[in-house]
Amino acid sequence: MEDIFVVVPTLNPNIEIFKKFLDNLLESTKNVLVYDDGCNKEYDSFFKELEKKKITVLHHYVNLGKGRSMKDAFNYLLLKYPKLKGVVTADSDGQHSIKDIEKVSNEILKHPDSLILGCRDFDSENVPTRNKFGNKITRGVFKTFVGLSITDTQTGLRGYPTKVMSSLLTVKGDRFEYETNMLIETMNKKIPIIEVPIETIYLENSNSESHFNPVKDSFEIYKLFFKFILAGLSSFILDYLLFYIFSLIIGGTNSILYSTICARVLSSMYNFLVNSNVVFKNRNSSSLIKYACLCIIQMFVSGLAVEYIVKLTHISSMVIKLIVDIVLFVVNFVIQRTFIFVGEKHEK
């Protein structure tokens, strides 16, 4: 594991478990960095012991979050070790075996342009029910809203080759959401993700002091999804209102198609501005061209579908348009996330 550091962010860990983990880790590598993310004062002597063992220990005076600890550690190592090949992050709760850390480290050398994820098997019997449920929810959200199919979205055992690590330094998030945001960023930058099966370990008392706030941190994790949905819903409402107004102005038998076109042009301009500037913050010229093509196709699909169904069922066009556009909204959501608002390819 030469030229690769193991970074362990920690906040008030179980000292007995953490000490045993570090002693075992030092038998595998001397390149260990522990980031004290504002631990209580009683940990001061413990960290001094680690420094005597030649472990690099960095400190936050107050708790600033796991994400901030990771970014500060990455920045420190990139500046101090120009020949650094990568970093493996591990948790301080003893749930990552040394064998798996070595496995992830080896994958960094094999795949210097990929993000490496050590993925647990959540179908195994020793996984607590709440962890199984939480993982299934997160996996489903990622697959639906982001387009990424990942076995373990919340794994703390990850491998970052130097190029990948440096490109993820500017990803937003200072707490648990940072690890989620970086997965989204790897997709935006087209960075490959390599999944490595690891042992599923849950130690009693290892999580006795959990620092994951279910309400606050879950909101932070899904904030991007909420913004996307709100942007889409506001565009949908605007489109619906404009359709109604243009239907009154135009009137006649051709009002449905023409009203759809006029309403969709204006609402699409609004939606593109919101998505490119607020949600994805992607202003590539290619995104505008692809978005315009999608809008044109969807506009005619919506107008023709509503017109056809109204003639077939004689139900109010306003009701039919609502149903048709809800279906198209979901389709549009996936297409935009997967093909339109994607960042430039990661330079190798």
Q: How confident is the model at residue 11 (pLDDT cuts 50, 70, 90)?
A: very high
**CA–CA separation, 211 and 249 (whole Å):** 57
Report the DSSP pairing between strands 86-89 and 4-10.
parallel
- Torsional sign, CA 112, 154, 166, 92: negative
Name the CA radius of gyration of the chain, rounded: 25
Average pLDDT along the chain: 86
Q: Whats the size of the chain, residue-wise?
A: 348
Q: What is the pLDDT of residues 285-322, one digit of tens each?
A: 677 888 888 888 888 888 899 889 999 998 988 899 88
Name which of 15, 27, 16, 17 is nearest 6 in CA terms.
Answer: 27
Report whether pLDDT(209) > 50: no
Q: Which residues of 300-322 are buried (b: 16+ CB within 10 A; e: fewer)?
A: eebbebbbebbeeeeeebeebbe
Candidate from 154-158, 199-203, 269-273, 307-311 with smallest mean pLDDT = 199-203
Please, are residues 8 and 35 in contact by the beta-carbon 8 Å criterion? Answer: yes
| Domains assigned to the chain | 4-221 (3.90.550.10), 225-340 (no CATH)
Please, are residues 84 and 162 in contact by the beta-carbon 8 Å criterion? Answer: yes
Name which of 1, 178, 211 is nearest 107 in CA terms.
Answer: 1
Candidate from 181-195, 244-258, 261-275 with smallest mean pLDDT = 244-258
Q: How confident is the model at residue 212 (pLDDT cuts 50, 70, 90)?
A: low
Contacts of 42 (CB under 8 A, 6+ apart): none
pLDDT of residue 208: 44
How far is the CA of 229 from the CAs of 22, 98, 151, 223, in angstroms? 44, 41, 24, 10
Contacts of 135 (CB under 8 A, 6+ apart): 122, 152, 153, 154
pLDDT of residue 224: 66
Q: How confident is the model at residue 68 (pLDDT cuts 50, 70, 90)?
A: very high
Q: Where are the alpha helices (DSSP H) in the chain?
A: 15-26, 44-52, 66-80, 98-110, 129-141, 162-167, 177-188, 214-221, 223-250, 255-274, 285-313, 317-335
Q: What is the pLDDT of residues 167-195, one digit of tens each?
A: 999 998 898 889 988 988 898 788 999 99
Report whether pLDDT(55) > 50: yes
